[in-house]
């Protein structure tokens, strides 16, 4: 009989992160297809009370926890020790966890310690007879494969944006504290602070309903043969502020920034979408001043409804890659939309 273990860590404030809530729905979806399987949950963090409460209605038969100041921050050695202890205590054969940066770093190591196997970028589950099959993306999510494994424990990290966020009224549960002893080698790394890329505004908003992608056109000479960087920055930031959109960028635009030209201080390589950038998931996307070539379209794979603004009626978006293409001056159009908002 399989034992499905759902794993989560807390956010800095002790809450259950959105990605963990989504992965919980994924684990419950899997559980619903494996009638014979046991379903248990494990949590790590400084204080896991709020996170367990948020997940308590999931129907798990046991809740395991490793908590305390040593487990508050992401640190490979202590996280690995904690997760290994929970996996051993629960006797897990299938482990479902959110693909957060904290877990992406540590779960492969835990799989190794337990002699298990891991698959990342999991996007779906199906059960045929008693055989579990998972879907996962390959080649920067351009292809979907279905696979199964006999090896156990099998660790599966679930990408964000696939399952709905788990929301439920709290239920009374009994939590089993799993003992973990840390020695000097576990604690020699200390988190002393965060260093973020230079940015005057937090422009990457994974939860936003709109992805706004800016391209090099914003920095090009316009009809008056002049570049209008300050105005472009004002229009883009004004629109982001009003719409709450997440800001994406073409590679060419962020490359310019790092080469010391035409810098938009609110943008870094983290904003880049595409083949060599991110493939974010948002219900809608609006691209402005981008040519929208194939690599860029890769970055839009998981964007539901796609619109673009370009002066050029033959731009890349016109080749069937956008649902709606506005042939217009993005400066004028985005400014106007900002005003209307
Ligand atoms: C191996 C490899 C990997 C790559 N990976 C990526 C990637 O991950 N992401 C990515 O984005 N690119 C990637 N690229 C680069 C990609 O091929 C393009 O060069 C790049 O996306 C072009 O950027 P752009 O559309 O911003 O600029 P441009 O191609 O210069 O397009 C600018 C557009 O702005 C329009 N414009 C100008 N002024 C206005 C205005 N006032 N109003 C409206 N429109 C206006 C123009 O008509 C033009 O279409 C990669 C390339 C290679 C070779």
- C-alpha span between 134 and 293 (Å, rounded): 31
| φ/ψ (deg, to 5) at 83 | -70, -35
Kindly list the protein residues whose Cβ atom lies closer than 6 A to any atom of ligand 1. Answer: 215-217, 220, 222, 250-253, 272-277, 289-291, 293, 295-296, 299, 309-312, 315, 329-331
Q: Is 276 helix (H, G, I), strand (E, B) or coil?
A: coil
- Output the pLDDT for position 295: 72
- Stretch 68-92: mean pLDDT, rounded? 97
Q: Is the pLDDT assigned to residue 126 strictly greater than 60?
A: yes
Residue 1, CA atoms < 13 Å, CB-side half-sphere? 8
- C-alpha span between 88 and 255 (Å, rounded): 46
pLDDT over 70, % of the chain:
96
Closest residue to atom 48 of ligand 1, CA basis: 291
Q: Residue 261's pLDDT band (boundaries 50, 70, 90)? A: low
Closest residue to atom 38 of ligand 1, CA basis: 217
> For a pocket test of ligand 1, which of 289, 317, 321 has the largest count of ligand atoms closer than 8 A to its C-beta?
289
How, if at all, do strands 117-128 and 131-138 pair? Answer: antiparallel
Contact 214/262 with Cβ under 8 angstroms?
no
This prediction has a pTM of: 0.76
Instruction: Please give the angle made by the CA atoms of 132, 133 and 135, to the nearest 5 degrees.
Output: 145
Strand partners, 6: 41, 96
Contact 94/152 with Cβ under 8 angstroms?
yes
Q: Residue 117's pLDDT band (boundaries 50, 70, 90)? A: very high
- Stretch 292-300: mean pLDDT, rounded? 77
Of all residues in the chain, what percent are helix, strand and coil, respectively (each to 5)? 35, 25, 40
> For a pocket test of ligand 1, which of 141, 225, 251, 308 has the largest count of ligand atoms closer than 8 A to its C-beta?
251
Contact 287/213 with Cβ under 8 angstroms?
yes
Q: Is 320 helix (H, G, I), strand (E, B) or coil?
A: coil
Q: Which of 7, 111, 89, 91 is nearest to 52 (CA)?
A: 7
pLDDT in tens, 190-249: 988 877 655 556 899 888 899 999 999 999 999 999 999 999 999 999 999 999 999 999
Contact 155/122 with Cβ under 8 angstroms?
no
Average pLDDT over the chain reads 92
pLDDT in tens, 152-187: 999 999 988 889 999 999 999 999 999 999 999 999
């Amino acid at each position: 009989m399989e034992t499905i273990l759902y794993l989560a860590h807390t956010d800095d404030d002790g809450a259950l992160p959105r990605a963990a809530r989504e992965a919980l729905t994924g684990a419950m979806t899997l559980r619903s297809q494996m009638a014979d399987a046991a379903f248990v949950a494990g949590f790590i963090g400084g204080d896991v009370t709020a996170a367990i409460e948020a997940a308590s209605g999931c129907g798990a038969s046991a809740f395991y926890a490793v908590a305390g100041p040593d487990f508050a921050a992401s640190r490979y050695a202590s996280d690995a020790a904690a997760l290994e202890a929970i996996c051993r205590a629960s006797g897990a054969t299938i482990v479902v966890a959110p693909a957060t940066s904290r877990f992406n770093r540590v779960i492969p190591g835990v799989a190794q310690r337990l002699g298990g196997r891991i698959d990342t970028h999991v996007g779906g589950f199906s059960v045929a007879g008693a055989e579990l099959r998972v879907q996962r993306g390959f080649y920067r999510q351009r292809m979907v494969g279905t696979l199964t494994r006999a090896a156990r424990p099998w660790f599966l990290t679930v990408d964000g944006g696939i399952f709905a966020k788990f929301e439920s009224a709290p239920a009374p549960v009994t939590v089993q504290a799993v003992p973990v002893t840390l020695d000097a080698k576990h604690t020699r790394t200390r988190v002393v602070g965060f260093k973020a890329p230079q940015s005057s505004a937090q422009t990457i908003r994974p939860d936003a309903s709109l992805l706004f992608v800016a391209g090099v056109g914003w920095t090009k000479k316009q009809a008056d043969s002049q570049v209008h960087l300050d105005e472009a920055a004002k229009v883009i930031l004004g629109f982001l502020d009003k719409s709450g959109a997440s800001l994406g960028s073409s590679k060419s635009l962020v490359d310019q920034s790092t080469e010391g030209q035409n810098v938009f201080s609110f943008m870094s390589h983290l904003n880049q979408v595409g083949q060599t950038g991110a493939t974010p998931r948002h219900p809608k996307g609006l691209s402005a001043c981008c040519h929208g070539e194939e690599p860029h379209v890769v970055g839009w794979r998981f964007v539901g409804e796609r619109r673009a603004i370009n002066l050029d009626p033959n731009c890349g978006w016109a080749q069937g890659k956008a649902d709606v293409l506005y042939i217009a001056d993005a400066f004028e159009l985005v400014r106007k939309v900002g005003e209307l908002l």
